A and B are shown apart, each in its own frame.
Chain A
């Protein structure tokens, strides 16, 4: 299979993730959609790495995985904290600061 198909898949995944972030209300689901976007970028990096025949993209993918893990740690902590004080993880409910 030619590497281009992987790129189409990664663009599709990225778009699904971006739409999810904009549409979904639950903070956890929004966060999962962001993770999907990061993974789409990983897929693109690895596919390009294969196309160009060098390893830079694959190394980058490893770094991205570590960063994504760190982001999960911070993000889930913040979202769980919000949930515990409001009993809701809905992004729309967090609107105390609207003018």
Chain B
């Protein structure tokens, strides 16, 4: 990996399509997007931290397996934190909290962290995590605004606005993420998003 991940350039969600399952499923509101983004970023950071420490000693197949186990462990931690301190958010994210365990963002990011320097692994994890969380929050905000006429729960559009309900539904989420990626590519240019996630 070349360490070119960024918050704006080469955004892990909008350019690489990492972690798209929750990006479509739970981003019906800005708060959900933010919560999911931060939870995933936290698990990614911890996974990168450990993989940066021990990853160098593992071969490629073992790296994937260890990353997966670490990711599952930190997803469990994320679930406990959400359940204990943010029960309402935990309920609205639902089954997608445990599914952080198989987020392709963490599986790719963690595997890449192995074998790089410890500092580089942390920095990369941090940048990828923040980039992902920012993209998730933005997508959630757009879908909430279109689908409900609110921003973080506060009504911001005039009462006459008839919400575009589809924006908050699965079909609308898939289309809006696709369009967001297209816009992102148009604005930031693209080097073909030829990267495969898991």
Pair from one complex: no
